[in-house]
Amino acid sequence: MCHALDSNDVRFFSGSSHSELAGKIAAYLAIPLEKTEVRRFNNDNLAVQLGASVRSRVVFIVQSLVPPVSDHLIELFMMMDAARGAAAREIHAVIPYFSYARSDKKDAPRISIAARLIADLLQTAGATHVMTMTLHSPQVHGFFGIPCDPLTARALFVAYLRQYDFDPADTLVVAPDYGRAGSAARLATQLGLPAASADKMRVSDTKVVIGPAIDRQVEGFRRALIYDDEIATGGSIVALSERLIHNGVEEIVVVCTHGLFSGDATEKLARIRQIREIVTTDTVPIPKGKKLSNMTILSVAPVFGEAIWRNYTRQSIGDLFAFGETCTC
């Protein structure tokens, strides 16, 4: 389904982090993707100028928080501030990947709860509404003092994975840790499969240990769908895959929303021959060199496009939320 927004009332912009996805969302909404000029002065300061009038209009700005995250974040702040200073009626920050959601608690002395800080700064910069997808920590949703829509790509995964016609007698969905157990259970329910959850302990940013709690849960299953919110270094997926294989799992399908694949993540995953496929989305741009032959990238443009359309036309988007039982997007 394609919806057309009123191009006289709406302005659609993209930051420099993921213009390809922004273009797909704009195409879904049959609205032009306006130009944005981003310059860097010789003192390293950024300068941003919106390429179309926004006075009294509804403004949408797409920016994913991918490396260099700080530059992209400042760029987003400046775009919103420019829109507010030019008398925009509404300013919607569309952030497909909100990387700071991982910093959601004070788990060491004298550190910042950065997710809450960034949420405050988005509002300070002019955002009247935030739209994002699959927050690493669901409680980050509550950090925002303005409306925030936490969307999910689960319907895309369900529609794609149904082609396999998995047998619940030999296939189950596995969450890499207890924090993702709810999400894994929702995916499993929609696929008609059982679900299990691993006990993960993070040793460092790149090393994790999977405990023995998963062993009895996967006994007798031949195939596993590992479902996670993101893959960065690949440490969690590698450790869990090795544990599953040790317990007799012969085939693995990895499913994640945010495919960052930093460092040598793809090389580590490619070495595990039991991984049949990696299914991810385009919330972050994946360089050509990171795209493995067994990798499938689904576009989230229809999900964001539908959510934007419903928001603009004042319709409910509850069934598109990450915590919803179903998603018909």
Which active-site residues does the annotation give? 200
Q: How many residues does the chain have?
A: 329
The Cα–Cα gap between 275 and 225 comes to 10
Distance CA 276, CA 292 (A): 11
Two tokens, residue 233: 């270094």
Gap between the terminal Cα atoms of the chain: 10
Name the nearest CA neighbour of 243 among 272, 267, 270. Answer: 272
In DSSP terms, which residues pair with 132 in a beta bridge?
95, 150
CB 214 within 8 A of CB 196: yes
